[in-house]
């Protein structure tokens, strides 16, 4: 199995867990959804980067999108949505910082972004929508 395929399969599992849990009445807290979305985003983007024979220079969503922009036409909406996603990120700090928890509506927005990234990367990976 090619390396990119493993990243994609893992991302797809995180994506399905997120979507199915939402459909089942949101049994998890929004920070769990936020982290699942982040893992799925990283996986889909890493799959496309590694398919091209590269490795991500940084693990941030914005950084990976900038890297992909060198080879692909990345939708401008992705840049805006990655900034929105990053708004909730808790960076390492010596100070104790309050965690900003996304609302249900903000999680829904992130899930929509994730679905768009899934479709876009699937297209560039040459996958049919059922498997992307």
Q: What is the 3-state secondary structure (H, E, C) of the chain?
A: CCHHHHHHHHHHHHHHHHHHHHHCCCCCCHHHHHHHHHHHHHHHHHHHHHHCCCCCCCCCHHHHHHHHHCCCCCCHHHHHHHHHHHCCCCCCCCCCCCCCCCCHHHHHHHHHHHHHHHHHHHHHHCCCCCCC
pLDDT tens, residue by residue, 117-129? 999 999 999 986 6
pLDDT tens, residue by residue, 73-86? 999 999 999 999 99
pLDDT tens, residue by residue, 44-83? 999 999 998 999 988 789 999 999 999 999 999 999 999 9
Domain boundaries in the chain?
3-89+97-125
CB atoms near residue 15 (< 10 Å) = 23
Fold of the domain built from segment(s) 3-89+97-125: 1.20.120
pLDDT of residue 99: 77
Token pair 């990053």: residue: 86
pLDDT of residue 109: 98
């Amino acid at each position: 199995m090619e390396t990119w395929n493993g990243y994609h399969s893992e991302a797809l599992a995180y994506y399905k867990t997120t979507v199915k849990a939402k459909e089942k009445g949101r049994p998890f807290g929004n920070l769990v959804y936020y982290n699942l979305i982040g893992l799925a985003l990283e996986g889909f983007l890493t799959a496309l980067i590694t398919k091209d024979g590269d490795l991500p220079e940084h693990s941030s969503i914005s950084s990976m999108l900038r890297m992909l922009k060198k080879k692909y036409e990345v939708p401008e909406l992705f840049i805006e949505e990655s900034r929105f996603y990053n708004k909730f990120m808790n960076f390492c700090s010596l100070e104790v910082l309050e965690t900003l928890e996304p609302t249900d509506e903000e999680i829904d927005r992130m899930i929509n972004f994730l679905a768009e990234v899934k479709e876009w990367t699937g297209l560039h990976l040459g996958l049919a929508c059922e498997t992307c």
